[in-house]
Amino acid sequence: MAKFTMISDTEWRERLKENEYLVLRHGATEAPHVGEYTNTTTEGVYRCKACGAELFRSTEKFDAHCGWPSFFSPLAGDSVIEIDDYSLGMHRIEVRCATCESHLGHVFEGEGFDTPTDQRYCINSIALDLEERPVSDEESDGGQEQASQERESSRVSAS
C-alpha cells in the first residue's frame, strides 16, 4: 500500500483534476446539486477519489435533499477520520479519508432523519468514485452503532 501522507502537493496536483484537488486537498466544497452521485441509486461501494479506499456503501446512502450525497454511516469505524472544524465561524465535524487524509465533507448529527444513526455524512461527489457491484447483507452488517462509537473515540480536535 502506498504511503499517501508522503505524497507531495505537486504530486497530488498531477494525480487529481483541479476541482478534485481543491476539494480533496484544500477542503473546498463543490456546488450543491451538481455532483455525479447526488441522486444516484446505483448499488455499489463508494471509494475515495484520491486513494481508492472503500468509504461508504450504497446501502447506507439516503436522500437528505441537501444537494450532496448523504450517508448515515461510513463503511467501517476506521474508514474515515472526524475532525472538529471551527472554520466559517461555526463548529462542524469534518470527514476525511483515513487512508490519505483527503477532505470528503462533513458529518451532522441530530437532524431527525429516520436512519439507524441519525447522522448525515454530507460528502462531496467529486471526492468519490462509485464501484458498481452488488452489496450483500454481510458487507452491510448493521454495525453502525459500534462504528459510530469507534469514530467518536477517535475524533480529532483541530481547535
pLDDT in tens, 40-73: 999 999 999 999 999 999 999 999 999 999 999 9
pLDDT band of residue 135 (cuts 50, 70, 90) is: confident
Residue 141 lies in a domain: no
With left for phi above 0 and alpha for psi between -120 and 50, is residue 19 left, alpha or beta? alpha
Q: pTM for this structure?
A: 0.84
pLDDT in tens, 100-115: 999 999 999 999 999 9
Residue 137 lies in a domain: no
Is the pLDDT at 158 greater than 60, yes or no?
A: no
**Total domain count, the chain:** 1
Active site residues per annotation = 122
Residue 99 lies in a domain: yes
Which DSSP symbol is given to 33?
T
Residue 145 lies in a domain: no
pLDDT of residue 76: 77
Residues 6+ apart with CB under 8 A from 132: 42, 43, 44
Q: How far apart are CA 116 and CA 93, in angstroms?
A: 19
Mean pLDDT throughout 8-13?
94
Q: What is the CATH number of the domain that holds 119?
A: 2.170.150.20
Residue 103 lies in a domain: yes
User: Chain-wide mean pLDDT for the chain?
Assistant: 87
